[in-house]
Amino acid sequence: MATIGFIGLGIMGRPMAKNLMKAGHSVIAFDAFATAALDDVVAAGAKRAASSKEVAAQAPILITMVPDGPQVEEVVLGPGGILEGAKPGTLVIDMSSINPAVSQKVAAACAAKGVDFLDAPVSGGEPKAIDGTLAIMVGGDAAVFAKAEPILKNLGASVLLTGPVGAGNTTKLANQIMVACNIAAMGEALVLATRCGLDPEVVFNAVKGGLAGSTVLNAKAPMLIARNFKPGFKIKLHQKDLRNALQTAEANNVYLPFTALVQQMLNSLIADGKGDLDHSAIATVIESLSHVEVKKPA
């Protein structure tokens, strides 16, 4: 069992830190903003730290789970950050979903201090973070991955090395494109069915066993039909992921028309004050423009 530093205790990070403790690891936790979450994790058995630097000084393995690239840079490279406290040979596993170029920048700074780095973003949202069945996409050196893999398997049902540093986040961007476009297509389909007088739940049950069936459909159609937009993964976070995808596409001369269209839907929802809703609410843009609400008939 290892001593693991965990920095970032949001919707995903809090249950992940708890799963590490359930697996028998010792956790040293820190979050500068989510104080209630930090209190909760400490109550579950973690040791409290006062800074990222303090976490790094005490733990040979660190996991970061923060919103985006600027926060990763602050936590790892900034004043009071990990690299101020880390010893050579420390392993940093960044499980945030960020731009692959930022992962590569942070990895280079870590390497200059003799610190190993993996980017290991996840998919599955809060439910799979809670039950420890996330899909974890890792970028980095194979020998470093071998050191991290047993720990990551406490958090995910699927843990796969996808390539060098940055490959994990590139894979995650591909994942987020497919999820967002799938939700938008689901919205179009169920809006059409509802407008035509059908029960959307019946339509969902009819198609989910066929080629249109997917994990996304199974998770998000019931939420839409029930009008339940409690966030498992927030609109504003998916907007961030698609922004990173479009920036990466621009840097690599790739055409992503559907991604750009769904990004505009996300931007519209955020402008309407709906950024904290679950990303199943992407479908509500189609509803609004069609003047149809997907729900069971009265």
Q: What is the pLDDT of residue 66?
A: 96
Specify the pLDDT at position 296.
Answer: 86
By DSSP bridging, strand 91-94 and strand 134-139 are unpaired
Tell me the β-bridge partners of 158: 135
Question: ∠ CA 97-60-81 to the nearest 5 degrees?
Answer: 55
Q: Which residues of the chain, if any, have pLDDT below 70?
A: none
Domains defined along the chain, listed by start: 3-164 (3.40.50.720), 170-290 (1.10.1040.10)
Catalytic residue among 18, 172, 220, 274: 172
pTM for the model: 0.93
Closest CA to 221 of 242, 204, 246: 204
**190-220 burial, b if ≥16 CB within 10 A, otherwise e?**
bbbbbeeeeebbebbeebeeeeeebebbebb
**Number of residues written out for the chain:** 298
Q: Catalytic: 296?
A: no
Q: Specify the amino acid at residue 11.
A: I
